[in-house]
Amino acid sequence: MAKRLMSAIFGITYVVLVLVFNGNLPVLLNISLAAVSAVCVFEVCSAMGIQKIYGMVIPALAFSLIMPLFGFTIFNRACFLFAVVMFCALIAMHKNITFKDMAVLYSLSLIISYPLGLICQLRDIGGAVHNTVGIFYIVICLVLPWTADAGAYFIGSAMGKHKLCPNISPKKSVEGAVGGVIISVLCTAAACLIFQYWIFPEGVKIHYFAVILMSLAGAGLSILGDLSFSLVKRGCHIKDFGNVLPGHGGLLDRFDSVIFVVPMVYFVTTMYPVVTI
């Protein structure tokens, strides 16, 4: 538990510093997300046991950096080029790797890097004048899944009696999932109040009803993301994706639910004025 708390404190402190200095050093967010993306993809390679097949690992790592660093500008072309390179590698190394391995690595590289890159797109929604709006959306993307996960962990440990998906993740309970959703909604509401009254400039307004609906959907998606990657781990016969974060596992163990929540927040905020400037 002590290791888990220390890792959480370190991670949250780093995130806060990156967001605080975003105005003067915005590239730090891009670099940080690119690093997270690359580490998560490498953790997938390690879980699959192909981390030493460099002809496939290196293109996957290179692709994982594209969206966080360069955004939409070259992402479509990068997807096509990545597919071509991966099939070339498959042909060249067909004795050491299967099409199934190549397809899984390609898919997970896309699933991981695209949402993490969207965080940078969210950062730019408010523009230079209202840059705190973009920061608010990033905070929501992180608070939603992480508090849902923490709430599910603690409430499930104390009150969990009914298994949620015992064949996928035996320790998760229905009580923990419900508690996680409630904690997530409350923490998201608290984040809204902090931004509305202490951070946003005058005239910026949060539509709380929209945020509450988004937080409910996000909490559900965070559970889906957690279970989905638990299924991946079960298929790879591992407990955690790594040990980068003591007490938590690998980076992908922390960002699996974030990966599912970010696209929802992005699409909702681009279609509906969650924050009015």
Q: For the whole prediction, is pTM greater than 0.75? A: yes
* Dihedral sign of CA atoms 70, 72, 73, 74 in order: positive
Q: How many CA atoms lie within 13 A of 243 on its CB side?
A: 2
Of 205, 152, 140, 208, whose CA–CA distance to 178 is shortest?
Answer: 152
Residues of the chain predicted below pLDDT 70: 1-2, 128-129, 247
pLDDT recorded at residue 129? 55
User: For residue range 84-99, what is the model confidence (pLDDT) as tens digits?
Assistant: 999 999 999 998 889 9
User: For residue range 191-247, what is the model confidence (pLDDT) as tens digits?
Assistant: 999 999 999 988 889 999 889 889 999 999 999 999 999 999 999 999 999 888 876
Of 237, 233, 227, whose CA–CA distance to 260 is shortest?
Answer: 227
